[in-house]
A and B are shown apart, each in its own frame.
Chain A
């Protein structure tokens, strides 16, 4: 089955700096890669996703890049703000389906004022 590894497990950045979280996956058939943000006391919420027919996707301060050859994808947050502090999860799925997501173990991001 699919295996997703996520690094780092914790990340602290100064407000205004950029944050990068990286994930690798094992199943070359995976072609859907969402990123979720989980704030304290809430369930995960989708913030951005990418499918394997594109290499990069951007939404305001958030971007995701995908390298299918190396089987890794990354989340980039620019101009970080305190409200970006949360746990971020990457996931991967085969067949373009969100039904069978395999999640990474999460990254606790802390943005220091």
Chain B
């Protein structure tokens, strides 16, 4: 185990549903990330939070809404998704020190299917 947990592991939702993905890290890190992993494509960074503040938003559609209530928890709220949003959503955490950041530890991911 990497110390990063994600729930649920699998999620099937309709395009009109609202659901949330949860990530929790037990490593004492101060930075957390959401990635999208689609088949045959590189991991795409979606959001970065550092000390609970969002520092990166890589042009992600507004139907994805992140929330970071504290440095250990990260949520991704989903609403009115499209079938092309079906993918593995990975959460990661790392310890940032100034301008440097070190190894990212990944959770097992949530396999999302949008019908």
Bound state CA distance, A103 and B45, in angstroms? Answer: 9
How many chain B residues touch A (Cβ–Cβ < 8 Å)? 27
How many chain A residues touch B (Cβ–Cβ < 8 Å)? 24
Pairwise interchain contact A105-B103, C-beta atoms closer than 8 A: no
Which chain B residues border A24 with CB–CB below 8 Å? none
Which chain A residues border B4 with CB–CB below 8 Å? 43
Bound state CA distance, A10 and B108, in angstroms? Answer: 22
Contact A100 B56, CB 8 Å, known A43-B2, A43-B92, A45-B106: yes
Pairwise interchain contact B45-A105, C-beta atoms closer than 8 A: no
Pairwise interchain contact A98-B104, C-beta atoms closer than 8 A: yes
Contact A103 B42, CB 8 Å, known A43-B107, A97-B100, A98-B103: yes
Pairwise interchain contact A49-B103, C-beta atoms closer than 8 A: yes
